[in-house]
Structure 1
Amino acid sequence: MTSLADAPVRADTALLRLGDALKDAGYAFTAVTPATYERVNGRPGNARGRALRDVLGWSRPFGPGDLPDRFVTLLDEAGVLHRDGDLWRATVRCSSYDGGLFFHSAYPPNAPDAVFFGPDTYRTADAVAGHLRTQDRPPRRAVDIGTGSGAVAVTVARHAPHAEVLAVDINPAALRFAAVNATLAGCGDRVRAVRSDLLSAVDGTFDLIVSNPPFMIDPDRRPYRHGGGEHGHDLPLAVLDTAVQRLTPGGSLVLFSGTGIVDGHDPLLAAADERLAGTDLRWSYREVDPDVYSENLDDSYAHAERIAVAVLTATRAA
């Protein structure tokens, strides 16, 4: 007789088997912005899913006969299939990056414990990979703060195969996805998912700190999206403050964030400059994309002329 404690283990095993089956089927899907999901799914003929990418990429409802039985069984065993009569939905999506597959929350990600994966995930992972390629000495201990799906932590593990990598988050759903996705990527033994608010539950210092924390001004205050404060920068700046305290000599921070530009002024850049003044960190800041999420300019960003995303890199003197 199995106990209730066994249920999450069985579900995660089934999710891993689903991931392997998707790999064998040649599945691939590029995660897009919520606005693109809404627009593409609203086109004629896209109301119902009839293929794996429809169901596990575009989060379209489906029903009996639309998918091969083995995939329906695995969705069921993983606890990620919601049935309402003949209208079924997968409660996860699966997106691809750098040859790997990553499970995360279905669209629309409105639940309080939603786990985000989208264009900013790709940008952050690319920035981290690019940073690691420039380093003469690979990190021995690294942490991804606000790991979400764990995609960035996996990227660190792939580029620094001898590093201990922690994937921290306050969201238990994120930690589950991060652990499953790391195992699916073949580095589950080197990526450890830890529940922690920033680094409050983690000891020691780090050679590398990476983060793509929530950074938006979100009226609904969804945890995966809302950064806090007047500009949505409370969490990114908290990560910056944490790095000042916890980086080793020669250690680096790679912080990806968004910022609303007001009359040509970047409030995140100004706040970072103030916080880093007087520290021993050398840092740089660059816009990765000058104009994103324009659908928000009519409401929570009505004061801004554009929303940009930027990468801040800081390195402690050796």
Structure 2
Amino acid sequence: MTITDAPLVRLGRMLGADGYLFTTTTPATHERVNRRPGNKQARGIRDVFGWSRPFGPGVLPEDMVALMDAAGVLETDGDVWRSTVRFSSFDGELFVHSAHPTTDPDSVFFGPDTYRMVNAAIGAVEARDRPVRRAVDVGCGTGAGAIAVAKRAPGAEVVAVDINPAALRFARVNAELAGTPGVRPCHSDLLSGVDGDFDLIISNPPFMIDPAGRAYRDGGPHGHDLPLAILDAATGRLSADGTLVLFSGTGIVDGHDPFLEAVADHLTGTGVTWTYREVDPDVYGEELDGPAYAHADRIALVVLTATRAHG
């Protein structure tokens, strides 16, 4: 860990000991709730570390504020302070990630899609006939997927890769908080920075068409450009009986799914069997009002599972 990782870990443990719990919503829901009367300023711990509301002296214990300062996650503006991180609870753990709004290019997102993706990864581990010996979470963000796999595959090497240094910092902290020493955060562009094959590859890559080009959100000009790049990299690195779980999104156009069509094309001749299903037919409806999705009927969430046959 780095010098500033240790106080962030201590902050997370302090919150856990205090019984802190928070389920992070979509940005649109977050904004709606924060616009309600009385929600402009924080009145307690969940307001600060969940709802990202500004706060003043006396709202948090002094030792908690000192840890925030030591960790470099305390912003001050006169007598008003703000946390630059949030803590979300899931699967019995706390995960640190970027505060709302996630507008910075290196923001590390955690939200409903994280919960969905991690549940899909858990299902893949539990469905396997053979134990997971080596796994990788591509574009790991907070490391939530890698940590969930490590908890259910004791002794496995679980690599958490990302190109964002902020994500790797949070993944280190979260792995420490969860007590999963098998998780190894590693800087890598897709799988170029790691060697060997994997029994399990999981990924929840950016899949939106994002005019702002935010790294945690932008999947390329068509939204599915980055997911397809991960698909191509992963299919060549699956061990015998290895499985890829790719959680993504797709803009449905005139009833057709362009991501599904591209997936079928990319997997032809690769020797893997695969399934593809919608897990939510209509999300991020507010995006349909903008030019990036003016061509789409809806945005759906999907899970692609691809397996290389044993032998």
Which amino acid counterpart does residue 179 of structure 2 have in structure 1? Answer: G
1:5: which partner in 2?
Answer: none
Alignment gaps of 5+ in structure 2:
none
Q: 1:234 aligns with which of 225, 233, 236?
A: 225
Residue matched to 1:262? 253
Opposite residue 257 of structure 1, the aligned amino acid is S
CA distance in 1, matches of 2:182, 2:208: 31
Query: TM-score under structure 1 normalisation?
Result: 0.96
Residue by residue, what CA displacement relative to the aligned partner does 1:255-293 show, whole Å, maximum 9, x if unpaired? 000000011101111100111112210100011111100
Partners of 2:14 and 2:229 lie apart in 1 by: 40
Say whether 1:148 aligns with 2:124. Answer: no
Letter of the 1:208 partner, please give it.
L
Is 1:218 aligned with 2:210?
Answer: yes
> Deviation per CA, 1:92-126, whole angstroms, max 9, x where unpaired?
00001111000000000111110010100000000
Cα deviation, 1:118-176, whole Å, max 9, x if unaligned, reads 10000000000011111111211100000000001101101111210000000000000
Task: Tell me which moved more, 130-139 or 27-36.
Answer: 130-139
Secondary structure (helix, strand or coil) at the match of 2:299 reads strand
Alignment pair present for 1:170 and 2:163: yes
Query: Residue 289 of structure 2 aligns to a residue in which SS?
Result: coil
Residue 71 of structure 1, CA deviation: 1.3
Matched, 1:78 2:74: no
Distance 2:50 2:284 in 1: 20
Q: Distance in 2 between matches of 1:258 and 1:50?
A: 36
SS at match of 2:184: strand
2:195 corresponds, among 198, 203, 207, to 203
| Letter in structure 2 aligned against 1:276 | L
Q: Hey, what's the Cα distance between the residues in 1 that align with 2:217 and 2:162?
A: 13
Between the aligned partners of 1:253 and 1:212, the Cα distance in structure 2 is: 11
Q: Is 1:295 aligned to 2:286, yes or no?
A: yes
Partner Cα separation in structure 2 for residue 198 and residue 279 of structure 1: 19
The letter of the residue matching 2:2 is: V
Please tell me the root mean square deviation across aligned C-alpha atoms, in Å: 0.8
1:10, distance to aligned residue in structure 2 (A): 2.6
Distance in 2 (alpha carbons) for counterparts of 1:199 and 1:9:
24
Aligned to 1:280: 271
- Of the structure 1 ranges 218-227 and 66-75, higher mean CA displacement relative to structure 2 is found in 66-75
Q: Aligned letter for 2:234?
A: A
Task: State the identity %.
Answer: 65
Mapped to 1, the partners of 2:240 and 2:127 lie a distance apart of 17
Residue 49, structure 1, aligned to residue 54, structure 2? no
Structure 1 SS opposite 2:81: strand
Q: Does 1:245 align with 2:242?
A: no
CA distance in 1, matches of 2:187, 2:145: 16
1:254, CA displacement in angstroms?
0.2
Letter in 2 for 1:250: D
Aligned equivalents of 1:208 and 1:125: distance in 2?
Answer: 13
Aligned-partner residue type, residue 48 of structure 2: V
TM-score after normalising by structure 2: 0.98
| Partner Cα distance (2:207, 2:127) in 1 | 27
Q: Distance in 2 between matches of 1:52 and 1:287?
A: 36
Specify the code of the residue in structure 2 equivalent to 1:279. Answer: T
2:113 corresponds to: 120
Rounded to whole Å, the distance in 1 between the matches of 2:195 and 2:126 is 27
> Which whole-Å CA distance do the structure 2 matches of 1:92 and 1:134 have between them?
34
The one of 127, 134, 157 equivalent to 1:134 is: 127
The within-5 A match list for 1:34-113 is 34-113=27-106
Secondary structure at 1:309's aligned position in 2? strand
Helix, strand or coil at the partner of 1:238: helix
Could you say what secondary structure the match of 1:30 adopts?
Answer: coil
Partners of 2:209 and 2:154 in 1: how far apart? 36
Quote the residue 1:4 is aligned against: none
